Structure 1
Amino acid sequence: MTWNSKLRCFFLLWVLNSNIILASLESEVSAQSDVKDHGEHDNEDYSLERAGSFDQIFKIQQTYLTVQVDQLNSTNTPRAKDEKRRLLKELSRAHGKWGDQHPRKKLLDALFSYSRYFERNIPDVNRWRQLYNHVSSKHKRLLDRTVSYTKKFDRAESLLRQNHFLCEDVVNEALSYYEIGREELRKHIADAEKAGIVADKMSVSQSLKHIGRDWTDDGVSERDGAFPCILDSIQSLFPNRQSSRYKVLLPGSGLGRLGYDVAALGGFEVTNNEVSAYMNIMYRFIETQSKKDAFQVYPFVDGWSHHVTQDDMFYQLSFPSMTMNNSNVILVEGDFTTVFKDSKDKFDVVITHFFIDTARNLMSYFETISSLLAPGGYWINFGPLLYGTGPWVQLALDEILTVTEDMGFQFVDGPESCGSLTFPDKKVRNKEAAYGYSPRALTKNAYHAQSWIARR
C-alpha cells in the first residue's frame, strides 16, 4: 500500500441551499488521524522507521460529509499544481549539488526530527523524575497527598505520546505530498544517527506552538495584536475589489494563517512563502484538513515553567479553528530572495509580518521587495527589529526609513489600528504585539512592533 490516500468515491449529489451533500465517501486514511483514543499504543516503539508494516495503522472508514460550496478545500487549483511541479523539480536529488543546503536534505532532516519527537522529549521527563528522587520521603508524601505530584510525570509522558501521534500524522502527509518513499526516509534517519546527528527538538516544538498561535481559538489574542493593522491597511489601499483580483505576497508566512485571513477579505490572490522545512511540513498537513478542530495538540507540555496551574501545562488545543479554504492561497517554499527570481509575477502588495529582522542581508530583502512589487504597489510591514545571530546589516528604524526612501519607496500613513505615530514627522506607527507565548502563562514575550505602508 502506498502512502498516498486512496479515495474511492461514489457521489450522490443534489443541490439545496448552496450545499452539496456527499454520500458514500469511502476513504483509506491514517488511523492516527481517525482514532481519538491512542491509549492502546502506550507501550509501543514510537520511531516511525521501526513501526513495521504501516498497513496496520490504516483502516477503511465510511464518512458522510456536508460541505458548503464556497468552503471546498481545493489544493488542486492551477496555481497550486504549477507550484507543486516547480517544488518537486527543485526537491529532486538531480537538481543542484547534494549537500546540507539541498532542499531535499533539509526536508528529510525535518521529517527525521518530527519522527523523533517522543524520543527527544521523554529524556527531559525522566530527568525530572530522577531529580525528584532527591526529595525526602516526607516531602514526597506531602506533595503527592496535596497536588499528586508523582502523577505529573506520567501525565506529561502520556501527552508527549499524543503529540507524537500527531507528528506521525504530519510525517505521513508530508511523505505523500512530497512524494518521498518510506524507505528513503528510513535510510536517511539511519545514516543520520550513525553519523551521530541528533534530531532537532526545538524546531518541532516551535511548530507545535505555532499551531496554537495561527490555527486555534486560543491564538486570537495574539493574532489580534497584529492582524487588524495589516488587514485594515490592505483594505484601505484596495477598497473596491468586486471586479479585480489583487496579488499579495507574504514572505516568512510560517503556518500561513495571515494569508488565509487576507484571502478571506475577497478580491485577493495570496502567495505565502516560507523557507523553514519544519513550518512547511506542518502547513502541508493543516491545509489538507476539511474539518474544523479535527486534531488536538498539547503545545506547552514540554515546558515546566511559568504555569499558573498544572492544567495550563497540559492544556489541549484543537485545530484548525476554521474550515480550510485555500482556493485563493498557495505556498511557495524556499528562500524569499531567490525562489522568485525566475518568476514573471509582480505583486500588488508585499506584506512582511515579523519578517524583515530575519534577514542575513537586510538590503537583499529591500531589493527583493522592490523588484517583486508592480509599479505603484505597496509594501506593508509589521514587526520588531530583533536581529539574529549573524546579520550582515543591522539598521535602526530611522536608518531603514532613510535607506528605503532613497531606494524609491514613498511612505503613506496607516490606519489607527496600527497604533500611535513613532515619530511626529514620519508615517510609521507602533503598538505592542505579543509573539509566541501562552495567554495563560506567567511570562509574556511582546514587542513595540513597527508598522508602515510604503508605495513603490
Structure 2
Amino acid sequence: MEDENSKDEEQLEREHFLRIINAFKYYRIHSSKRVKNAVESYQSLSDSHKKMLPGYLDNLTLIQNCVDHNYEIIQLVIKDAEYMFENKTHEPTEDEKEVPPTQFDMDKVRTTIKQFVRDWSADGQSEREACYLPIVMEICEKFPKSKCDPSKISVLVPGAGLGRLAYEIAKQGYSCQGNEWSLFMLMASNFILNKCNAVKSFTLYPWIHQWTNNTYTEDQTASCKFPDVNPAELPPNSNFSMAAGDFLEIYTDPDTFDCVATVFFIDTAHCIISYIETIYNILKPGGYWINLGPLLYHYSDIPNEVSIELSYEELKKVIKQVGFVIQREEKDVRSTYTQNPKSMLRYEYSSVFFTAQKPVS
C-alpha cells in the first residue's frame, strides 16, 4: 500500500512538473494570440479610422518581437529545470497528454516575468527598499555584528520568490535559507542564482501584457535589464541556500532558526494559524519573527479551497495566543508588488510591519 501511495504521489508531482513546464512553453503561443486579436481589431476599422493610427501595426509588430525575446529567456529558464528535479524530462510520455495550460497558469508565467523586475533589476529598487530593506535592517538590529557572529545566526525566508531578500540577508553575513513552493518561482530563481553571473546580462520586456492604462505607446514595450548585481558575488564563506517544498511540510523540527523573515507571505496560507504555529515551533527560544505585508489571502475567492481570512486585529490576537510577544508594530507601510511605475493604474498596499519574539521560557 505504501509503495502504491508513493507511486501515486510521484505521478502527481510529475503531472504538476509537466503542467508548469507546459505553461512556460505555451507563453509565446498564448501571448501571440493577444497580439493577433489586436491586429484583427485594427483590420476591422474603417479606412478613415486606420489613417488616424499610422503606426499602430508597427507597434504591434514590436510587441510581437518583445514576446519572442521574452520566450528566449523563458527557454533558458526551463532548460535546466529537468536537472533541478531529479532529471525529470520536459517531454510527456506516450501515456501523458499535453494539456493546454489554464489562464491561471499563464498569469503565473507573466507574474514570474515581473518578479525578475522586482527582485533583480534596478527598476525594482524602490519596491525592494520598501519591502526588503526594513527586514534586513531589523535583523541587523536584533543580531548586531558587534555582539554576535552573524554566520552563527540562522535565518529562514519562507515564500522567497526569486531569492533576493534571502540573498541580501546572506550578504550581511547571516546564514540564510530561502524556501519556495511555486515551481514557477523555483525554476526562475535557479536561473537567476545559478546561471546569471554578469550584471545586466539579460533583457526582458515585462509590461508588454499590459494593454490598458499606458500613458505613452513605448511604455508597453519598455525593457528591463537584469540582474542589477552579480548573484555569484556573495562574500566568501557565505551560507545561502534555497529549499523547495511546502513550508508546513518541510519545517517541522522545533527550535531550529534564530529568525524567520516573511514578506508578502503569510496571506498565502489556507489557514494562517498553521503558519503562525509553525513559525513559533521552528524558532529557537528568544528568536524573532519579522513580517511585512498585507492580508490579501490568496485562496479567499478560489472555489473549493479552504481559506481562513482574519482581520489584522484578529491576527494579532492569534499571534499572542500562540505565544509570541509583539515587540514592534508599524501600520500603513506603503508598499507595492511587481507594480509598473509608469502605468496609469497602480495598486498600493497599506502593509503592516511587525517583530514578534518567542519567549526564552
TM-score strictly above 0.5: yes
Whether 1:399 and 2:345 are equivalent positions in the alignment is no
2:219 alignment partner in structure 1: 312
Where do 1:9-408 residues align within 5 Å?
A: 96-98=6-8, 102-144=12-54, 148-180=55-87, 184-187=89-92, 191-193=96-98, 200-240=105-145, 243-245=149-151, 246-266=153-173, 268-288=174-194, 289-325=196-232, 327-341=238-252, 343=253, 346-388=256-298, 389=300, 390-408=305-323
Q: What SS is found at the alignment partner of 1:377?
A: strand
CA distance in 2, matches of 1:257, 1:95: 36
Supply the RMSD in Å over aligned alpha carbons: 2.3
Change (3 A) 1:101 1:443: farther
Say which is worse superposed, 384-393 or 345-354, in terms of deviation: 384-393
Q: How many residues align?
A: 343
Q: What SS is found at the alignment partner of 2:52?
A: helix
Q: What SS is found at the alignment partner of 2:212?
A: coil
Could you list the per-position Cα deviations for residues 271-311 of structure 1 after superposition, in whole angstroms to 9, with x for gaps in the alignment?
10111000000000001111111111111112211212121
Change (3 A) 1:447 1:345: same
Return the offset for 1:196.
Answer: 5.7
Change (3 A) 1:197 1:209: closer
CA distance in 1, matches of 2:63, 2:254: 50
Q: Any conservation in 2 of the 1:359–1:391 contact (CA below 8 Å)?
A: no
CA distance in 2, matches of 1:322, 1:228: 16
Change (3 A) 1:206 1:271: same
Change (3 A) 1:373 1:443: same
Q: What SS is found at the alignment partner of 1:296?
A: strand
Q: What SS is found at the alignment partner of 1:330?
A: strand
Return the offset for 1:188.
Answer: 5.4
**TM-score, scaled relative to structure 1:** 0.71
1:42 alignment partner in structure 2: none
**TM-score, scaled relative to structure 2:** 0.89
CA distance in 1, matches of 2:91, 2:187: 17
Change (3 A) 1:134 1:446: same
Say which is worse superposed, 301-310 or 196-205, in terms of deviation: 196-205
Runs of 5+ in structure 1 lacking a partner? 1-92, 414-426
Return the offset for 1:177.
Answer: 3.1
Could you list the per-position Cα deviations for residues 63-86 of structure 1 after superposition, in whole angstroms to 9, with x for gaps in the alignment?
xxxxxxxxxxxxxxxxxxxxxxxx
Identity of counterpart residues, as a percentage? 29
Q: Any conservation in 2 of the 1:436–1:445 contact (CA below 8 Å)?
A: no
Q: One-letter code of the match for 2:345?
A: T
CA distance in 2, matches of 1:330, 1:273: 9
Whether 1:454 and 2:351 are equivalent positions in the alignment is no
Change (3 A) 1:249 1:101: farther
Whether 1:443 and 2:345 are equivalent positions in the alignment is yes
CA distance in 1, matches of 2:203, 2:7: 39
Q: One-letter code of the match for 1:440?
A: K
Pick from 334, 338, 352: which aligns with 1:432?
A: 334
Q: What SS is found at the alignment partner of 2:91?
A: helix
Q: One-letter code of the match for 1:235?
A: C
Q: Any conservation in 1 of the 2:23–2:101 contact (CA below 8 Å)?
A: no
Change (3 A) 1:430 1:189: farther
CA distance in 2, matches of 1:233, 1:429: 16
CA distance in 2, matches of 1:243, 1:231: 16
Runs of 5+ in structure 2 lacking a partner? none
Change (3 A) 1:261 1:189: farther
CA distance in 2, matches of 1:101, 1:373: 34
Return the offset for 1:350.
Answer: 0.4
CA distance in 1, matches of 2:94, 2:39: 29
Return the offset for 1:173.
Answer: 2.0
Q: What SS is found at the alignment partner of 2:199?
A: coil
CA distance in 1, matches of 2:280, 2:96: 43
Q: Any conservation in 2 of the 1:353–1:381 contact (CA below 8 Å)?
A: yes
Q: What SS is found at the alignment partner of 2:90?
A: helix
